[in-house]
Amino acid sequence: MRVTAESKQYDYVIVGAGSAGSVIAHRLTEDPNVSVLLLEAGGEDNQFFYRMALGFHSWRYPDTSWSYETEPEPHLNDRRIPLPRGKVLGGSSTINAMLYSRGHPEDYNLWRQMGCSGWGFEDVLPYFKRSETNWRGEGTYHGGSGPLQVSRVQKERFLGEPVIEAARNAGYPITDDHHGSMPEGFGGGDVTVDSRGRRSSAARAYLHPIRNRPNLHIETKAYATRILMDGKKATGIVYQQNDEEKRALAGREVILAGGVYNSPQLLMLSGIGPAHHLKDMGIDPIVDLPGVGRNLSEHAGFWTEHAAREPVTLIKDLRADKVALSFAQWLLLGKGLMTTQCNSCHAEIKSRPELAHPDLQIYFNPIAADAKPWVPLISKKQQHRMTSVVCLLQPKSRGWMELRSADPADKPRITLNLMSDRSDVETLINSVEMVRELYKTEPLASIVAQENLPGADVQSRDEIEAWLRSVLITTHHSVGTCAMGIDEEAVVDPQLRVRGVENLRVCDASIMPTVPGGNTNAPSIMVGEKAADLIRGTSLAPAELPRQDTLAA
């Protein structure tokens, strides 16, 4: 590999053009006197399927994802769990399922209680609002002029209505807005899709409109391998691009926004992390931070499947000629099946009534997980099937990640340790029973023909637990490996500065001390918005909310 001797200097060098890094680059370069280099290990986000809302299965492509997987999971029958993470401009926001969810207000109040001053719900709500243009318009809980486009799920006409009516009959609360004054309940969902059915990723929202700013320099296919250090001061980044090793100097700060696996990996490769582990890898420790790579938290998930008596699913729309027509509708008119992903509605509910706020999220999809386009008279007869994706919102289990070697090209060792905490196991078993009861409630009961998964042979709690250990996966919401806090295990302080290092911050999902009770793309974008203000030395005023709203269940 060639080494480029010349080092270019910028005010800020940002590693990672994902959900947070894209935001920070946008906000910092609003000042024309500030220069920013944004490094992205992946390529441009110009593939066709990145834009189409129903094309979110692009996460399966090896050029698009880091394609991580866990070590054999000790509590999941030693299975290795796939961990796709975005390796493209926009990061995981370019390949995710586009579900917009912030979590519960108490998730952020918990951060504040843990010592993260300035991160309570009233503190972060203004940054959620600044980031979005919500279909509801400007209001107490939503923004109306931000870069990120947030629209309503368009498929409530399929499975959504009978699910919500069954939930009402079963005694569950119904909500019009999971991000408003009543986060708990069943209702329609929000997605990061614009009015023409195109994905609104962090790159499309924050980077593409400003690509011509002369003070913003974006380098793709640029893989950061080491932080340049002068003693305990970060001075720049070493990165690989086109078989060359290059260096970029940061006059003010180096900002890591590589995500929950890449940011701690880069810290450890640079001598910042658990000293004993770094020595085992042959790396000289510069700063002993035992929390780097620890505290890994993830939403465990699984899905159930039911066959339907009535044509309430999308399988008829996957007939090959209809798929072609839908594609043309999307391309020419911004309408039709391709303009949104597959969810009909979702729920954020409690597994036990005494809980303070929801610990389960359920997405209802009018399609089977393995459904594909089909051709009449040629393809096997298609069954109407519907799935319910269940997500454990408040997991107690914690995992970890470590280096595999001192070679930056080696993927890290990741252990999620899902189902290691008994309370998680009991909640997951309860969730299976709750979903079953819902499908026995009218009008769903009249629609369902049979339960395919878990199936009739899985009935007792022991049988459900065994089934869960054989099928449980993640919902791709990993956080916590560079956790924010004030104790000795914290990696960054509430200003997101790496403890013991000058001019170095981590600003992505890895800093979240606990996982929010929802999908993590919107919280990661919020982190980017707030981080930009922390770096600039400014702050939005906390939101003024009635006390009952900040604590709403």
Annotated binding site for FAD: 88
How far is Cα 424 from Cα 398, in angstroms, rounded to an integer? 11
Structure tokens at 254: 């180096």
How far is Cα 25 from Cα 13, in angstroms, rounded to an integer? 9
Active site residue 477: yes
> Is the bond preceding residue 373 a cis peptide, omega within 30 degrees?
no
Known binding-site positions for substrate: 342
167 sits in which H/E element: helix 161-169
Q: Which of 142, 299, 346, 477 is catalytic?
A: 477
Unique residue bearing structure tokens 């295990």: 489
Residue 86 near residue 429 (C-beta atoms within 8 A): no
Known binding-site positions: 88, 342
How far is Cα 21 from Cα 19, in angstroms, rounded to an integer? 6
How big is the chain, counted in residues?
Answer: 553
DSSP assigned state of 161: H
How far is Cα 172 from Cα 347, in angstroms, rounded to an integer? 9
Strand partners, 149: 133
In sequence order, which residues have a C-beta less than 8 Å from that of residue 494 and are 6 or more positions away? 115, 116, 117, 118, 119, 484, 485, 486
DSSP assigned state of 343: -
Unique residue bearing structure tokens 């009249």: 446
DSSP assigned state of 81: P
Amino acid at 452: N
Residue 521 near residue 128 (C-beta atoms within 8 A): no
469 sits in which H/E element: helix 461-471
Residues with a catalytic annotation lie at: 477
